[in-house]
Amino acid sequence: MEINSFVIFIAAIFTSNILLTNFLGMCSYLSISKDMEASAGLGMAVFFVLTFTSGLNYLAYHYILVPLNLVYLQYIIFIIVIAAFVQLLELVIERFSPVLYYSLGIFLPLITVNCAIFGISLFMIIRNYTFIQSIAFGAGSGLGWLLAILALAGIRGKVREKMLPKGMNNAAISLIITGIMALAFIGFSGVVIIQ
Amino acid sequence: MLIIINNVLTFVGLSGVLSTIIVIADYFLANYGDCKIDINGKREITVKGGSSLLTSLAEKDIFVSSACGGRGTCGLCKVKGIDGCGPLLPTEKPYMSPKELEEGIRLSCQVKVKRDLKIEIPESIFSIRKYKSVVTAIEDYTYDIKRIEFKLIEPNEITFKAGQYVQLESKRYGKVRQPVMRAYSVSSNPSHTDYIELIIRKVPEGIMTTFTHDHLKEKDEISFTGPFGDFYIRDTGTDMFFVAGGSGMAPFKGMLEELNEKKSKRRIVFFFGARTTKDLFLLEEMKKFEEEMHDFKFIPILSHPEPNDGWDGLTGYIPPYFEEHLRDPKNTEGYLCGNPGLLNASEKRMRELGIEDIYYDSFG
Amino acid sequence: MKLTPQEVKIQERLKPGVVTLDGFLGKDKRHYNEIIAEDLEVLKGLAKTKEEIADRLDYLTKKALPYDEDGVVIDEIYDLQYVTARGRIISPFMDRTFWPKGIITLKNLQNGVEIRWTPLSIHLIRRYGFFQGKGATFRTEPSDLIKAIF
* CATH at residue B263: 3.40.50.80
Q: Does C4 reach chain A within 8 Å, measured CB to CB?
A: yes
Quote the CA–CA distance of A15 and A9 in Å, as a whole number. 10
Share of chain A above pLDDT 70, in %: 96
Same domain for B186 and B260, yes or no, is no
* The pLDDT of residue A143 is above 90: yes
Q: Does A77 reach chain B within 8 Å, measured CB to CB?
A: yes
Q: Which of B228, B248, B267 is where one domain is finished?
A: B228
B47 and B88 in contact (C-beta within 8 Å)? no
The DSSP H or E segment spanning B16 is helix B2-29
Classify B357 as helix, strand or coil.
Answer: strand
Other CB atoms within 10 Å distance of the CB of residue A140? 29
Quote the CA–CA distance of A124 and A141 in Å, as a whole number. 11
Residue of B4, B7, B23 best to disrupt the A interface, most CBs of A under 10 A: B7
Q: Which of B191, B206, B228 is where one domain is finished?
A: B228
- Domain of B207? 128-228
Q: Does C2 reach chain A within 8 Å, measured CB to CB?
A: no
pLDDT, tens digit, 9 for 90 and up, residues B221-266: 999 998 988 899 999 989 999 999 878 899 999 999 999 999 999 9
Q: Which of B125, B151, B180 is where one domain is finished?
A: B125
Residue B49's pLDDT band (cuts 50, 70, 90) = confident
Same domain for B342 and B251, yes or no, is yes
Classify B36 as helix, strand or coil.
Answer: strand
Share of chain C above pLDDT 70, in %: 99
Quote the CA–CA distance of B161 and B193 in Å, as a whole number. 11
Quote the CA–CA distance of A19 and A14 in Å, as a whole number. 10
B200 and B222 in contact (C-beta within 8 Å)? no
- Domain of C17? 5-149
Angle at C124 between CA C123 and CA C130, to 5 degrees: 150
CA dihedral over B102, B104, B110, B112, signed as positive or negative: positive
Query: Please, which residues bridge with residue B135 across strands?
Result: B150
| Inter-chain touch B91–A102, beta carbons under 8 Å | yes
> Which residues of chain C neighbour B210 with C-beta distances below 8 Å?
21
Split into its structural domains, chain C has a count of 1
Q: Out of A69-78, A164-173, C68-77, which region has the weakest mean confidence (pLDDT)?
A: A164-173
State the nearest Cα–Cα gap between A105 and chain B, in angstroms. Answer: 10
The residue among B66 and C36 whose pLDDT is bigger is C36
CA dihedral over C11, C15, C19, C20, signed as positive or negative: positive
Same domain for B222 and B300, yes or no, is no
CA separation (Å) from B280 to A162, B208, C113?
59, 23, 33
Q: Going by C-beta distance under 8 Å and a sequence separation of 6 or more, which residues neighbour residue C54?
A: C122, C123, C125, C126
User: Could you tell me where the beta strands, DSSP code E, fall in chain A?
Assistant: none
* The pLDDT of residue B362 is above 70: no
Same domain for B222 and B257, yes or no, is no
Whether the ipTM is more than 0.85: the answer is no
Give the pLDDT mean for C43-57: 90
CATH number reported for the structural domain that contains residue B39 in this entry = 3.10.20.30
CA separation (Å) from C28 to C35, C41, C43, C143, C146?
8, 17, 19, 18, 22
State the nearest Cα–Cα gap between B92 and chain C, in angstroms. Answer: 10
- Tell me, what's the pLDDT at A194? 67
Chains B, C: CB contacts within 8 A come to 77
Classify B24 as helix, strand or coil.
Answer: helix
Same domain for B252 and B353, yes or no, is yes
Angle at B194 between CA B189 and CA B199, to 5 degrees: 50
* The pLDDT of residue B123 is above 70: yes
* The pLDDT of residue C115 is above 80: yes
Other CB atoms within 10 Å distance of the CB of residue B176? 20
Give the pLDDT mean for C85-93: 84
pTM of this prediction? 0.67
| Inter-chain touch B89–A65, beta carbons under 8 Å | no
CATH number reported for the structural domain that contains residue B147 in this entry = 2.40.30.10
Q: Out of B64-73, B226-235, B281-290, which region has the weakest mean confidence (pLDDT)?
A: B64-73
* The pLDDT of residue B363 is above 60: no
- Tell me, what's the pLDDT at C32? 92
Distance, C-alpha B78 to centroid of its chain: 15
C88 and C101 in contact (C-beta within 8 Å)? yes
Quote the CA–CA distance of A88 and A102 in Å, as a whole number. 16
In a domain, B9, yes or no: no
Quote the CA–CA distance of B271 and B130 in Å, as a whole number. 34
Q: Out of A52-61, A129-138, B61-70, B275-284, which region has the weakest mean confidence (pLDDT)?
A: B61-70
Alpha helices in C1-150 (DSSP H): 5-13, 32-46, 50-64, 119-128, 142-149
Query: Please, which residues bridge with residue A25 across strands?
Result: none
Candidates B315, B249, B317; CA nearest to B281 is B249
* The pLDDT of residue A166 is above 80: no
The DSSP H or E segment spanning B195 is strand B195-201
Same domain for B339 and B317, yes or no, is yes
In a domain, B164, yes or no: yes
Other CB atoms within 10 Å distance of the CB of residue B307? 6
pLDDT, tens digit, 9 for 90 and up, residues B156-190: 899 999 999 998 988 888 878 777 888 899 999 99
| Inter-chain touch B363–C87, beta carbons under 8 Å | yes
| Inter-chain touch C94–B73, beta carbons under 8 Å | yes
CA separation (Å) from B350 to A169, B243, B328, C24?
52, 11, 12, 40
Closest residue in A to C4 (Cα–Cα) = A106
The mean pLDDT value of chain B amounts to 88
Classify B49 as helix, strand or coil.
Answer: coil
DSSP state of B186: B
A24 and A50 in contact (C-beta within 8 Å)? no
- Tell me, what's the pLDDT at C86? 79
| Inter-chain touch C17–B68, beta carbons under 8 Å | no
CA separation (Å) from B179 to A61, B67, B115, B151?
52, 11, 32, 20
Q: Going by C-beta distance under 8 Å and a sequence separation of 6 or more, which residues neighbour residue C76?
A: C109
B231 and B163 in contact (C-beta within 8 Å)? yes
Residue A113's pLDDT band (cuts 50, 70, 90) = confident
Split into its structural domains, chain B has a count of 3
- Tell me, what's the pLDDT at A33? 64
Query: Please, which residues bridge with residue B337 across strands?
Result: B244
Distance, C-alpha B139 to centroid of its chain: 22
Q: Out of A104-118, B302-316, B342-356, which region has the weakest mean confidence (pLDDT)?
A: A104-118
Boundaries of every domain in chain A: 5-186
- Tell me, what's the pLDDT at A1? 55
> Which residues of chain C neighbour B199 with C-beta distances below 8 Å?
none
Residue A170's pLDDT band (cuts 50, 70, 90) = confident
Q: Going by C-beta distance under 8 Å and a sequence separation of 6 or more, which residues neighbour residue A142?
A: A43, A46, A47, A48, A49, A50, A51
